[in-house]
Every structure is written in structure tokens, then in C-alpha cells.
Amino acid sequence: MPGRLNHGKLLSTLGQLCAFREEQEQALHYFDKALEQFGQLSDPMQSSRNQQQTSIYKAIVQLDLKLPEAVETVKTLADQLTGKTGVLSIRRLARSSSPLRFGHYLLLRWLTHSPEEIQLREEYLERIDEWQFGEGHPWMLINAYRAWLLADSQRADEAASYLQKAIDECEEAESNATLHWMAHCLHALGESLSLVLDQPARKCPTAPFPAEELVKLREARSTGERVAALKTLLPFNFH
């Protein structure tokens, strides 16, 4: 039904707008309402596709709020997207290409923020020879989070290579101020991880971006400090 589909998309968009404004509780409300609408669609493929994308948005907010159900949401989504379970779903996402890029990004966002997930992080890194690449958002974040995991595993040279690729991809985006700003944020992340990187070629943008806050990311020395700094620098689903 077009009306239900469009209503669900509107609710999902409202949820994203709230998340960008850091109105997380309201964002979760809209995402849940959108999922209700998508769950009633008669076309199973259309229902599944829209539910999965909105569920990814919902999971990002849950992670930011550190809700206890966030981990289970991420794992369930990984299983649904890959048709695998547990470790097998991690392996499948690790070697996935663009069709699964948003689920891939969500997985890496969670893994980098969760240093206690030693086994799953190692499972992902062991697939490095199978890692795929793509163009556009969120591939630069996928590569940045790959770099973060590599840096945490004391693989500095590989980490620098992936983070440099992420920075270059942001810089290559035509007329996209947010991505140009992201390049500087990712460079600051690299400094925090003690990686040797080229400075972004473009001048660091100022207002409306909080350039004065970059120092907090550069000086961050723990996962928690880096996550907190990124949240102040970059909007919803851009970190």
C-alpha cells in the first residue's frame, strides 16, 4: 500500500531528523512507529528492506544512548542481513560489498566501541584479505573503523593506510562540507591513535562546525574518550 509505505518513510525521516538534533528518545519513538508501518506492508521484500534500514538507524541511536538492548539489536540485524548467525554473520559482513554497506558500518561502529568483544574483533580482522571497497557514504567510515581496529591490534602501518584512504575519500567528495569536515575529524582520530597521516589538503572549515573541539579528539587516549569526542564533532550516522 503506497500510503502506508510513504507514511513509514516519513516517520523514519522524522526519526533521523530528531537523531541529528540529538533528540534521541523522540528519534526512537519515530523509528518504532515507522517499523510498525513497514511491518504491515503486503510486499515482503519491500517490508524487509525498509525495516532493516530503519532498524539500522534505531540501532545507532541505541548505541549512542548505551542502551542494554543495543548489542542484541546489532547482532540480530547482522544475522538478518547476512542470513547467517553469530560468528558466521561477522565473517559475511567483513567480506561484503556495497549492498550491505550500512549493516557493515553498523557492525564496525559497535566493534570499535566495544574493546571487550575480543573474539569478534579478531574474527573481523582475520578477513582482511577479503575486505571490499566502495564509493560514497558510509565507506569512508567503514575504512576509518577498520583502521581503528587495526590500531588497537598494534598494526599501525595497516591502520594508517586504511585511515588515510578514508580521509582521502572524504576530501574527494565534491562540494560536501560535512565530508570535508569529516576528513579533519578522521585525521584527529588518527593523531589520537598515534598514526602517521597526511594532513587534509583542504583548510579546516569553521562555523557551523566545532573546530575548537578537535583538540579533544586529538588528545583522547581511550575508546570512551574517542567515542565521546566524535559524538560532539560529527552528527548522527556520520561517525
**Each residue's pLDDT tens digit, 173-183:** 877 889 999 99
- 223 pLDDT band (50/70/90 cuts)? very high
Exposed, middle or buried, 160 (CB in 10 Å: 0-12/13-18/19+)? buried
For 184-210, the pLDDT digits (tens) are 999 999 999 999 999 998 888 888 899
Answer yes or no: are the C-beta atoms of 73 and 35 closer than 8 Å. Answer: no
For 4-45, the pLDDT digits (tens) are 999 999 999 999 999 999 999 999 999 999 999 999 999 999
Could you tell me which residues come within 8 angstroms of residue 56 by beta carbon, excluding any fewer than 6 positions away?
77, 102, 103, 106
- Mean pLDDT on 103-132: 96
| Average pLDDT of the chain to the nearest whole number | 95
Q: What are phi and psi of 35, to 5 degrees?
A: -65, -35
Distance CA(119)–CA(103), nearest Å, equals 19
- Shortest CA distance to 148 belongs to which of 181, 177, 107? 107
Structural Rg of the chain based on CA atoms: 18
What is the pTM (predicted TM-score) of this model? 0.95
Sorted by where each begins, the domain ranges of the chain are: 1-67
pLDDT for 206: 82
Q: What is the DSSP letter of 173?
A: S
CB atoms within 10 A of CB 168: 16
Cell 583542504 locates to: 202
Answer yes or no: are the C-beta atoms of 149 and 108 closer than 8 Å. Answer: yes
pLDDT for 1: 53
For 54-113, the pLDDT digits (tens) are 999 999 999 999 999 999 999 999 999 999 999 999 999 999 999 999 999 999 999 999
